[in-house]
Structure 1
Amino acid sequence: MPDPSIQSAEGTLRGAVLVLLQFDVCETIRLDQLRELIRARTIEPPSLKQPALGYVRYERPPIVEPLGTLMLESGERLQGEIKYFDYGVLSVIFELPFVGDWEKLTSLASRWVWDIDFAAQATEIVRGRLERAAPALIKPYKQWLSEDYLIFHIREIDPLPSAADLIQQHGARIAQVVRGDTGKLAESECHEVLQSRISYYANDLAVIGWNAAFVYDSTSGAETAIQLLEYANSQLLEFRHYDDLLTEELERVYTLLDGGTGFFMRWRLARSATRLHTVLLDVMELTEHADNAIKFLSDMFSARLYKLAALKVGVPDYKELVTRKVSTAEELYRFMVDQFNQSRAFFLELTVVIILVIELVYLFRGKPF
């Protein structure tokens, strides 16, 4: 049992642990139709750090409705809600109120990060909700990609420290929470984790990792960070989908090209080129759609926070993969079109030659063609 004096010195933490689960279920969702089907509310814009004119707004605000309680084997009861984004992503957030010390928080973080498969438990709940939302789904997928993320939101620490004091006194603990590890981390690893931190006021802090984040702020102040972490993870999910889609299409084209580029094969390339070009247009349209889903008009802090969150969860990496595959697909498309055009030109030239030969034959026989 920990020494009571140490526990008292460290103080009591109050807040909540949020489990963010996202599923890519279809190409797009008709939000207007969905709202009529489930009679849910539209999400409100997040509160702002700055009371100025700068703000963050959704291009098409997601629809949100409450979920039931999720009961874990440990007896913990989590309250949830589900959000429907128009680009085909469903976001589920389960929340557990938290009161305890740093040791309790690091223990919970380790158990939830590594030992509990929240996605598997939430999948059946999501499938049940989608049954009535089915008419609003465009091109639903048979198999879903998913992402999970944990947010440890602490709104109060006794006594209340500044962000600088919190890093100095409990930086190693925060690194453990973000990594989901109860062991003492090396100084270099703590430094690596704490480099990904951002603050606006002296008494708020967000430390962002690839699978979890620590947020020290008031309930209203943390709202922006939570929504931007949610959006960054939804973008990661979308780019993963585009990456899989392009990989599958490129493999199909390579298999076709392995069959050779003979005269008759080139006519098949025309159909494949048309299909590939359609996929490219779909990917570029959907990428732009997801990219522009949220707008940062003049709230520079939110823009910087989002950039940090996207970097840590891996959005730029997958976006670069998709960009490279789009470039490869465009080159393959041009190659297939060139091959088809050469075959068509050869066919037309051959047709002209045949017609001329026939005309000559009839001419030498003295019969009109």
Structure 2
Amino acid sequence: MSNSILLYRLFDVAEEISLEQVEQILSRRRPTSRLRLAIARPRAVHIPNPPVTVELGDEQVSLAGRNFTVNFTGKVYDLGVISLLMQVSLPPETGYDQIRSLAIYLNDSGSCAGIFQDRLCRIQKELAGTMKHPGVQGFEEDYTIFYFQDWQPDWDPVPLLLAEAQPVSEQVRRETLRHSFSYGPDDLAIITWASALVYDAAGSYDIPDLLEFAATQLLELRYYDSLLSDEMARMYDAIEDAETVTRFRRLNQYRHIMNRLMELVVDVNEITERIQNSLKVTEDVFYARVYGAALTVFRTRAWMESIERKLSVVLQNYTMLSNRMVNQQSTVLELAIVALFLLEILLSLPNLLR
């Protein structure tokens, strides 16, 4: 890789995608592979089901009044995410001021949205048969990585990361550079919420791949947090509706609500477990620090805690409905016992009156 700007768009398109089927379909016409980090030792980073990477070709694109050669790559994750990467290759003569101007243009213009949507529609049509419960809409993440094999010591990373033309305060500078990592003299990784800068003289793509994985986890956690919010609203509406019907119909509606709640809890627990275990850094301390910092910057822990709180509320409502059902069934049982007792008295009355 040469100096490049990597523009990522990640889209949640389905509940799950069969990567085996994806490989079979895409490999007929394009080069495909499974993600594997280049430098890390085989057992240092564990990916149970690596995403399928597919080459989508090169193209000439006009950005900020200049023509650039861009390469498009797609990654398909079993979690139901399609990630599209537009790699803008910077000519060797491109200076720092030009890179900063391009960073500001890309941040402000939104000119690439149509390009990504067009390629997403194409690949979705091609992979429609591989998706379980497709049709998820409105959940996407974007991320920008400034990638350098040739980084000059006098270049300032802060204006690139913030896409900022004006000087910033020392406080903002410290906060921007807070998550900076370097393994040796010829590498550097700086991670922020919306962008990252990666310098690697050897040309390794491992850090961008780790950051993309972290962004995928963030996207999935956002989706399931929203799903739980929607399901909780439906749950409250269903409970209110159940309160308006007769007692015997109410018990049946309670059972239906409880079954739905338990299915929801099981499904969300299963998927969040898969999200958290989709990538594990086990033996490489440097990669573990970078990946952990990315998850911290993306606030995945906060999203996970939000999901756990909502699951707790769902379980509390399940317990409440269960207690109501037990109480109502106990009441019905008591009434049945009283009825049987009265019936026995009525049946024995003729004998008592003789």
- RMSD over aligned CA atoms reads 2.2
Q: Does 1:130 align with 2:124?
A: yes
Q: Write the deviation string for residues 174-200 of structure 1: whole angstroms up to 9, x where unpaired.
A: 111111111111111011101111111
Residue from 30, 38, 50 that aligns with 1:47: 38
Q: Distance in 1 between matches of 2:70 and 2:337?
A: 76
Q: Which residue of 2 aligns with 1:67?
A: 56
Q: Which residue of 1 aligns with 2:3?
A: 15
TM-score normalised per structure 1? 0.85
CA contact (8 A) 2:265 2:311 kept: yes
Matched position secondary structure for 1:17: strand
Q: Distance in 2 between matches of 1:209 and 1:68?
A: 29
Q: Write the deviation string for residues 320-369 of structure 1: whole angstroms up to 9, x where unpaired.
A: 211211111111111122212222222232223223322322222459xx
CA contact (8 A) 2:35 2:53 kept: no
Q: Which residue of 1 aligns with 2:77?
A: 85
Letter in 2 for 1:198: F
Residue from 308, 311, 329 that aligns with 1:326: 311
CA contact (8 A) 1:47 1:220 kept: no
Q: Which residue of 1 aligns with 2:146?
A: 152
TM-score normalised per structure 2? 0.89
Q: Which residue of 1 aligns with 2:215?
A: 233
Q: Distance in 2 between matches of 1:260 and 1:36?
A: 48
CA contact (8 A) 1:119 1:148 kept: no
Q: Which runs of 5+ in 2 are unaligned?
A: none
Q: Distance in 1 between matches of 2:127 and 2:230?
A: 28
Q: Does 1:184 align with 2:170?
A: no
Matched position secondary structure for 1:157: coil
Change (3 A) 1:29 1:366: farther
CA contact (8 A) 1:48 1:55 kept: no
Letter in 1 for 2:188: L
Q: Does 1:116 align with 2:107?
A: no
Q: Write the deviation string for residues 269-305 of structure 1: whole angstroms up to 9, x where unpaired.
A: 2211210111111111011111111122211211111
Q: Distance in 2 between matches of 1:192 and 1:35?
A: 42
Letter in 1 for 2:337: V
Matched position secondary structure for 1:104: helix
Q: How does 1:1-369 map to 2 (within 5 A)?
A: 15-39=3-27, 41-48=32-39, 55-69=44-58, 72-74=61-63, 75-99=67-91, 100-116=94-110, 118-157=112-151, 166=153, 169-170=154-155, 173-218=156-201, 220-221=203-204, 223-259=205-241, 261=243, 263=247, 264-366=249-351
Structure 1 residue 72 displacement after superposition: 4.2
CA contact (8 A) 2:59 2:71 kept: yes
CA contact (8 A) 2:179 2:192 kept: yes
Q: Distance in 2 between matches of 1:139 and 1:184?
A: 48
Letter in 1 for 2:151: I
Q: Which runs of 5+ in 1 are unaligned?
A: 1-13, 159-165
Matched position secondary structure for 1:156: coil
Q: Distance in 2 between matches of 1:305 and 1:33?
A: 32
Letter in 2 for 1:149: Y
Q: Distance in 1 between matches of 2:237 and 2:168?
A: 48
Q: Distance in 1 between matches of 2:21 and 2:350?
A: 74
Q: Distance in 2 between matches of 1:200 and 1:189?
A: 25
Q: Distance in 2 between matches of 1:31 and 1:338?
A: 43
Q: Distance in 1 between matches of 2:307 and 2:180?
A: 28
Q: Distance in 1 between matches of 2:98 and 2:325?
A: 66
Change (3 A) 1:260 1:131: closer
Q: Which residue of 2 aligns with 1:3?
A: none
CA contact (8 A) 2:10 2:141 kept: yes
Q: Distance in 2 between matches of 1:142 and 1:208?
A: 29
Change (3 A) 1:317 1:117: farther
Q: Distance in 2 between matches of 1:357 and 1:113?
A: 81
CA contact (8 A) 1:18 1:95 kept: yes
Structure 1 residue 142 displacement after superposition: 4.3
What is the percentage of aligned positions where both structures have the same residue? 25
Q: Distance in 2 between matches of 1:232 and 1:151?
A: 13
Matched residues, number? 340
Matched position secondary structure for 2:137: strand
Matched position secondary structure for 1:183: coil
Q: Distance in 2 between matches of 1:317 and 1:121?
A: 32
Q: Distance in 2 between matches of 1:113 and 1:224?
A: 24
Q: Which residue of 2 aligns with 1:8?
A: none
Letter in 1 for 2:165: T
Q: Distance in 1 between matches of 2:59 and 2:346?
A: 86
